[in-house]
Structure 1
């Protein structure tokens, strides 16, 4: 019965020491650089050959504390070994669950590098597309100017041809009008000459008729006078 009580008391003291050790382990220190007082003083990291990290504990101080509570040396060493193993496993799980500040900084620098690279790629792509767009715009502008000049040349050519045809048509119409005017003038002159000829012929015929009438009247008068003379 006394042995059972002693074991229970030893377990309770060990649990108390372990809880006190954990509180001291995770309590921040005002003088430490990384924010952990007892952790930085009593625990250090060691890399095992298999790649895992073993956290070293000041087991001597823990054994002395257990012995001061009345725990035998072997039990104190066994309890210390168990606590150290549990602590190493717990801290190993914590180390696997969380990343270190250096790894976070490395990841941040990698992300910043990737972001800068992405920004530079986006900027270069935008500049490339913008230059391509400018070249396409200049090419389209040149094609439009070329088409405009060709269209202007065709319009000028058609206009010049139409003007030439119109001038030729005007000249032809002018020549035809001149010919018609000349023919009309000739016809008018011919008609005038014929009218004058007819007038002259009419005047001559009139004179002849008058002369014939006068001769006839004179002849009739002479015959009448001769008849009267014969009768008288």
Structure 2
């Protein structure tokens, strides 16, 4: 009991409980009665503990019935006040439903915003992809034009080189023909000179043979 009095009280019900316990307890001889006939004063509130058992324990510790009922009433008020204080700090079911509905609305709004952002991102990504594809097609077209221009330039250079080689070949053939003609003319001149030399030698041999024959005939005539 002294431990209950030593605890600090912060409510009106706690003060009443302390005052009732602080009164001097006088032991009065009471007539014998059956404990089962004892009952607390009916109240409109619901007790959160067994008041009958609590009153019996107080009477066993030396309190009278009236004191036990007073302590029990004050303690019931303290418990009720504590429970009401706890209930005020708790969230009601309606508040929970309201909070849940608010969270659902916020979640739906967030989901809608995310879907909208995702749709916008997809649209931007598609537009960027289309722009990149258009740039790639432009680059391909430019590359094809460059390749065509390069091929045309290479073909032109090859044709010019072929023409130059053909011209050089023609010039070389003309030079070769000129050399052949010159060689043939020189060979013909040499043949003519050889024929003339042969004819001259033949004339010389005929002259020598004729002179020798004339000398031989003259010698034979002289020998006769």
TM category (shorter chain) comes to 0.5 to 0.7
How does the TM-score come out when normalised to structure 1?
Answer: 0.62
Tell me how many residue pairs correspond in the alignment: 176
| Partners of 2:78 and 2:30 in 1: CA distance | 25
- Aligned-pair distance for 1:230? 2.6
Point out where structure 1 has 5 or more consecutive residues left out of the alignment: 24-70
SS in 2 for 1:183: helix
Structure 2 length-normalised TM: 0.64
Which residue of structure 1 aligns with residue 172 of structure 2?
180
Equivalent residue number for residue 47 of structure 2 = 22
Q: Measure, in 1, the Cα distance between the counterparts of 2:80 and 2:95.
A: 21
CA separation of 1:109 and 1:120: change in aligned 2, threshold 3 A:
same
The Cα RMSD (Å) is 3.5
2:85 paired residue among 70, 93, 101: 93
- Return 5+ residue gaps in structure 2 as ranges: 1-25, 49-65
Q: 1:147-182 CA deviation, whole Å, 9 max, x = no partner?
A: 222222222222221111111011000111011112
> What is the aligned counterpart of 1:107 among 99, 102, 110?
99
CA distance in 2, matches of 1:231, 1:174: 83
**Structure 1, 91-100 or 160-169: larger mean CA deviation:** 91-100
Check if 1:229 corresponds to 2:221.
Answer: yes
Kindly indicate whether residue 115 of structure 2 is the aligned counterpart of residue 123 of structure 1: yes
Among candidates 189, 196, 203, match of residue 197 of structure 1: 189
Partner of 1:26: none
